[in-house]
Amino acid sequence: MSKSAVITPFGASTIGSVKVPGSKSHTNRALLCAALAQGTSRLSGVLFADDTEAMLDAIRTLGAEVEENRRELTLEITGLGGSPRLDKSTIDCRSSGTTSRFILPVLASGHGAATLDGSEQLRSRPFAEQIAALRSLGCTLQETQMPGELPIEIQADGLAGGEIEVTTDTSSQFVSGLLMAAPLCDKGLTLRLLGTPVSRPYIDMTIEVMRKFGVDVKKLDDSTYVVPPSRYRATVLGVEPDATAASYFFGAAVITQGKVRVDGLDKRSIQGDIQFVSVLDELGAKVTWGDGYIEVEGDHISGGSFDLQDFSDTAQTLAAVAAFADSDLEISGIGFIRAKETDRLAAMTAELTKCGVEITEKPDGLLIRPNKWLLRGATINTYDDHRMAMSMSLLGLRVPRIEILDPDCVNKTFPEFFDCLEGLRPRAQERSDIAAVIAIDGPAGSGKSTVARQLAAELGLPHFDTGAMYRAVAVAALRAGVDIEDADAITKLAKETNIEIQERIVIDGVDATEEIRTPEANQMVSVVAANPQVRRVLVPQQREWATDLGGGVMEGRDIGTEVFPDALFKVFLTADLSIRAERRFNESSEQTMGSVLDDLKRRDQVDSTREDSPLLVAPGAVIFDSSGLSIEDVVSDLATIFRGLVAG
């Protein structure tokens, strides 16, 4: 088992397609129905992962015959033709909630004794509603450790059936398990749901799979289902690609502002989690619903409020996407996911907080107040929850040093996840429409100039300090005694001043390398840079420089957003305000720490709110918080990302 996986940011917008594995939910329903059917069923597109392996072991224990072709992702299953004969076997469901909650009612419908058990994680998950329902039908069940939890001993002598009520505010899996066992009851089963069921589309999926195997379920109203006594019949069935697994790659497209296509899914899918794509559409993504495929193209991410009760397995994906949104995003209707593999609300709150995301756990969901400036790397606990690992990995596509602990927990449903994610990594040679520029933006004191110079040296590229151009204009104004607020006069200076930006900064023939870093220049530069007329003078010079040199490392405030929006590699370099202030204080002997801090706050406000070319995180930019890191560490990480981007 790998102890951790560090995600290397993509460094560019991803463009590609991904083949996601078969749906776990579809696979496990099909496996159980095939095991109970008369004859031999043939399943294709099957998922082979921990959860489905648990179901395969379970149906073999019940007596079904299984022939596998893992290379082709197919199975042939010769079923029991009815209720199972139990022989005191112990069925280990590992950590699979679907296996355990689907199998328990089937065991109750059989004849003999058996024990249902699972991992420590599964033992902690609730089963009380299903146990109560089965006891009401006459089955003898005994929890051997804690009430309402595994392990459970079953003494079965068939089920007469009849009418039962079951609460549905914890898991739809209880209902699905009872429905699939219902045809085995002597009198069939009428199932009445108490309350509004969570994840209702999964119940609909169960009914559809049962129909494929020859069993019809009558829905009298939104809360009443009738299943007559009947037999499952063998069939040929193709398992859909997993819509929940696809959500991570659609999320990757939105986060990197790229384009990703997933084949095998469209609006006809029986999986409720396909609704996640519509949420991305509302957030501003461009969605193409094709015939047999879905394509998502990312853009700026707006905020909003979304009820995910019917597709809660995508809540963690949406929370990760929300970290990059432009405004607040609220997820509601998912209080019940506290009883999943882990308390997913508490887990996402804890891990996103580590990454600099302001997130509030609410009774039925999450509220995310994003600020991309504050995003930072962190070591992510996954709580033995595959969806924690996969969703939090998405932050690493743009934020360096996201380390995922216990990455192998994805084997539960998606063993190839990290390989598939890596397969979407963009390569520069695939793009001929982008400028060969490394654009480094960020607030004052973030270390842009030092990082840019050293990165250029590390990569053997030219370096140009665009911030020095604006500082040079400020110094020219100081020398000439021009009022910094006189926009026309400052613009005239920008046009007429001879500025040379090389190893030394020369203004009208006089070296100003140290002069542009004085406190007076620091005070004036943000006003100069906010002058749209000055920008119109200097930006063409910056573009001309890059064109003449064939590219290079360029840093400033709007390189990736305005000067070179199609730059090959974009970086937004930031750091904690206190750390930026300390850096500036150490550079100056004439200011107090308090005055430096106040000046940085003022500059951040001016730079981020100015009407012309405000300081923003460029689309798809790597967001790198350098707090606590050496310049060498930052340069090394950025060089690694860049080399990966341009590798053949």
pLDDT for the residue numbered 72: 97
The beta strands (E) that lie in 453-576 are given as 463-465, 499-501, 505-507, 510-511, 552-556, 567-574
Sequence length of the chain is: 648
Residue where a domain terminates, one of 396, 422, 448: 422
- Whether residues 584 and 443 fall in one domain: yes
pLDDT for the residue numbered 200: 94
* 119-174 confidence digits (pLDDT tens): 999 999 999 999 999 999 999 999 999 999 999 999 999 999 999 999 888 889 99
Per the CB < 8 A criterion, the answer to whether 311 and 383 are in contact is no
pLDDT for the residue numbered 429: 57
- Whether residues 70 and 156 fall in one domain: yes
How many other CB atoms are there within 10 angstroms of residue 578's CB atom? 12
Residue where a domain terminates, one of 238, 273, 295: 238
- Full domain range(s) for residue 146: 24-238
- Whether residues 389 and 493 fall in one domain: no
* 67-78 confidence digits (pLDDT tens): 999 999 999 999
Residue in the structure block whose two tokens are 């065991």: 107
Alpha-helical regions (H) of 259-325: 276-283, 315-322
Active site residues: 313
- Whether residues 281 and 388 fall in one domain: yes
- Whether residues 174 and 248 fall in one domain: no
- Whether residues 499 and 397 fall in one domain: no
DSSP state of 630: -
pLDDT for the residue numbered 484: 87
Tokens describing residue 376: 């930072």
CATH code of 467's domain: 3.40.50.300
In terms of Cβ atoms closer than 10 Å to its own Cβ (0-12, 13-18, 19+), residue 207 is buried
- 106 — phi, psi (to 5°)? -65, -40
- Whether residues 402 and 488 fall in one domain: no
- Whether residues 324 and 467 fall in one domain: no
- Direct distance between the N- and C-terminal alpha carbons of the chain, in angstroms, rounded to an integer: 30
Domain count, the chain: 3
Beta bridge partners of 227: 189
Half-sphere exposure of 106 (CA within 13 A, CB side): 32
Chunked mean pLDDT (size 10), the chain, 648 residues: 89 93 98 98 98 98 98 98 96 97 98 97 94 95 97 97 90 95 97 91 97 97 96 98 98 97 97 98 98 96 96 98 98 96 97 98 97 97 97 98 98 97 82 74 92 95 86 91 90 90 87 89 84 89 83 90 92 95 81 89 88 90 96 97 86
pLDDT for the residue numbered 432: 53
- Angle of helix 386-393 relative to helix 344-354, nearest 10 degrees, comes to 30
- Whether residues 582 and 553 fall in one domain: yes
Handedness of CA 235, 238, 243, 248 (dihedral sign): positive
pLDDT for the residue numbered 21: 97
- Whether residues 412 and 456 fall in one domain: no
Per the CB < 8 A criterion, the answer to whether 614 and 608 are in contact is yes
CATH code of 395's domain: 3.65.10.10
> 40-56: buried (b, 16+ CB within 10 Å) or exposed (e) per residue?
ebebebbbebbbbbbbb
Residue where a domain terminates, one of 405, 422, 439: 422
Q: In Å, how far are 256, 306, 397, 426 from 641, measured between CA atoms?
A: 14, 34, 11, 11
- Whether residues 327 and 222 fall in one domain: no
- Whether residues 418 and 436 fall in one domain: no
Tokens describing residue 51: 């959860």
pLDDT for the residue numbered 560: 94
